[in-house]
Structure 1
Amino acid sequence: MRTMNEEKKEKTVLITGASNGFGMEFAKLFARDGYNLVLVARSTDRLKKLAYELQDEYQLPHVCTITSDLTRPESAQEIYDAVRSSGIKVDVLVNNAGAGVHGFFHETDLEREQAIIQLNVNTPVALTKLFLRDMKLRNEGKILNVASLVSFMPSPLMAIYGATKAFVLSFSEALTNELQDTNITVTALCPGASNTMFFRRAGATDTRAANGTLSEPADVALDGYNALMSGEMRVVSGMMNKLQASASGVMSDSSLAATMRHLMEEETQQQEERETTHEQV
């Protein structure tokens, strides 16, 4: 008879954006529980370092790294083909990679935002389509899509990011309904502002949100992991974020947008506006 750990070692998880932040923490959690890993990110060096460390620490039979720029439309098919050609069966898919850009929509760069839409929406959809078909044939599998607290509300000054994360949540919950009579589950993880590289890469390090109370990536990943393993449809990570998500159901969209704009404005900008108002008075 096989032990539980031996059975887990037969399972494989594919994680996008695995080289840092939530993705790295997800990799550690799955490795701890004996899952073989397929780690995907743009940074070859960081990926290989993480893969070596986890394989060595947990004595995993198989750890595979795939260097891929997920803003490329063809990336999902390339990843799927590489996995299939290696004879790997993906039991769990974690669509974690994502990005945003800070600023007024009429001032931000369109090409960059189109790349963000590809990364946050099109590539996860394609990966889900490709791997879900295989899961459906086996009638078994799990998918975790990383959405956001802003999935519940308009997000001025990060309009594209907020819209993509609203899509991710809606998409995930629709799939949950479609798959309700199967042994496949889809879970949406909705974290709030977190201590990752997100704000720096988005050019939003001076915003109120970035300089407020931030969740730790390990805590967020653990919430997502536990919800995924329990087959939950959605999890909001963090008590304060849960309260904000609940409040979004009773507040008007205009009030939500005003709150999010306040959080996403730069503190220096707020000071300048206060000084201007004082001069006018």
Structure 2
Amino acid sequence: MPANRYFAMVTGASTGIGLELARCCARAGFDLLIAADEPAIEAAADELRKLGVTVDSVHADLATLEGVDQLCAASRGRPVDALLANAGVGLGRAFLDQEFNRIRRVVDTNITGTLYLIHRIGSGMRQRNSGRILITGSIAGFMPGSFQAVYNGTKAFLDSFSFAIREELRGSGITVTCLMPGATETEFFRRADMMDTYVGTAKKDDAAEVARAGFEAMISGEGDVVTGLKNKIQSAVANVTPAAVLARQHRRMAEPGTARS
């Protein structure tokens, strides 16, 4: 892809992996439309413009269909050549201790809004027989997420969904790549109320390295990428480990009160 003539849409781009994905796109010469559900998206856009590309930003709630429509309208009809569907939220603690409005927001952001956006942008790509789609899944989708049950469930959905539509689009000129990182140094664990857990306080992967691996896999048209050797081993082991054992192991990482001293 001669990226200097292309246009990328990146969601969840105010911080973390999403911002780093947007940086990868900008350095490759993509013009950008970035979105997030917080005002910090404007500061991210200002920073990215310093890389010499055109950057538009949208502050929208991508957990809603209206927010996704707002984002799509901001493209002003310009064909999206690369969609990096990264927006997502987490939620820690036991399922019955969580407020249901927060549970629903995880599902609406990670699944409903993501599906709607991919459906809208992917339809335009299919008309042109060209495009790249990157979906941020997670190795969390490989294991039952005790004390993160809803989040892990949404990532299991996205991991599976990405492989399914990749096969449906095989030969169409559109590629679908699933980025499956492990725990990464972002605002995720603070926002998910997990700073009193082992995983919330343990050493994590670098967001820039995770994003670079995902971007390169997308450009190459790869189906999936698990970042980091430790995560590759963990995902391989998860495929042959009973679900009950995985759920017990996850409890030791995510149960409140397990934070590293």
Among 71, 94, 98, the alignment partner of 2:63 is: 71
1:53 partner amino acid: E
Task: Answer yes or no: is the 8 Å Cα contact 2:81–2:131 preserved in 1.
Answer: yes
- Cα drift, residue 152 of structure 1: 0.7
5 Å-filtered alignment, 1:211-250, equals 211-250=201-240
Unaligned runs of 5+ in 1: 272-281
1:51 aligns with 2:45: yes
Deviations 1:91-133 (A, max 9, x none): 0001111111111111111111101100000001000000111
Task: Answer yes or no: is the 8 Å Cα contact 2:185–2:206 preserved in 1.
Answer: yes
DSSP-derived class of the 2:17 partner: helix
Deviations 1:10-41 (A, max 9, x none): 20110001110001101111110100000101
Among 140, 152, 155, the alignment partner of 1:165 is: 155
Q: Percent identity?
A: 35
5 Å-filtered alignment, 1:106-255, equals 106-255=96-245
2: distance between equivalents of 1:251 and 1:43? 39
Larger Rg: 1
Count of residues paired in the alignment: 261
- Cα drift, residue 208 of structure 1: 0.8
1:13 aligns with 2:8: yes
Task: Answer yes or no: is the 8 Å Cα contact 1:73–1:118 preserved in 2.
Answer: no
Pick closer, same or farther for the CA change 1:270–1:242 going to 2, 3 Å. Answer: closer
Q: TM-score, normalised by structure 1?
A: 0.89
2: distance between equivalents of 1:270 and 1:180? 45
- Cα drift, residue 213 of structure 1: 2.4
DSSP-derived class of the 1:157 partner: coil
1: distance between equivalents of 2:182 and 2:164? 22
2: distance between equivalents of 1:268 and 1:171? 32
Paired residue for 1:276?
none
1: distance between equivalents of 2:190 and 2:171? 42
2: distance between equivalents of 1:268 and 1:23? 28
Query: Which stretch has the larger CA shift, 72-81 or 180-189?
Result: 72-81
Paired residue for 1:274?
none
Provide the aligned C-alpha RMSD in A.
1.6
2:52 partner amino acid: Q
- Cα drift, residue 269 of structure 1: 8.4
- Cα drift, residue 54 of structure 1: 2.0
Deviations 1:32-75 (A, max 9, x none): 0100000101223x22222222223x221x21111101122322
Greater length-normalized contact order (CA 8 Å, ≥ 6 residues apart): 2
2: distance between equivalents of 1:22 and 1:37? 16
Pick closer, same or farther for the CA change 1:139–1:251 going to 2, 3 Å. Answer: same
Deviations 1:149-206 (A, max 9, x none): 1111110101000000000001100001001111110011111111100100000011
1: distance between equivalents of 2:260 and 2:125? 50
1:204 partner amino acid: M
Pick closer, same or farther for the CA change 1:270–1:40 going to 2, 3 Å. Answer: closer
Query: Following superposition, which runs of at least 4 residues in structure 1 exceed 4 angstroms of deviation?
Result: 268-271
Task: Answer yes or no: is the 8 Å Cα contact 1:77–1:126 preserved in 2.
Answer: no
